[in-house]
Structure 1
Amino acid sequence: MKILIYILPFIIGASCFIGLSIMGSTINSDGILVEPFFFLIPVGYIFLIIGAFML
C-alpha cells in the first residue's frame, strides 16, 4: 500500500502527458497554435517533480 502512494504522482504525471497527446492541438487559419488542454503540461511536470521528491 505504501508503494502505491509513492508511485501515484508518476502515474498522474504520465497520464497528464498522455492525455495531452491524445487530445491534440490545432492550428488556426491565421497560423496560431491552439492547445485547449495546455494546463496539462505544467500539471504533469509538477506531479513528476513531486514523485521524484517522494522517492
Structure 2
Amino acid sequence: MGNTGTVGLLSNGSLWVAAGAAFVAALGLTGSGMGIGRTTAHAGGILSEKPELFG
C-alpha cells in the first residue's frame, strides 16, 4: 500500500483502526493468522493511544 496507506491512515485514523480491528477479528476466526492478528492488534493499540509516535 505504501504512501497511499500512510496518507489514508493519517487522514482517516479511526476508520483504519476499525477496518484493522475487523480484519484482525477475521484472521482470528480463521485461526491461521493468530500471530499476525495479535501483532497487528498490538500495533493498532499503540497507534490509537500514542499517534504522536507515528507522526
Could you state the TM-score of these two structures normalised by the residue count of structure 1?
Answer: 0.46
Higher RCO (C-alpha 8 Å, min separation 6):
1
Could you state the TM-score of these two structures normalised by the residue count of structure 2?
Answer: 0.46
Name the structure with the higher helix share.
2
Larger radius of gyration: 1
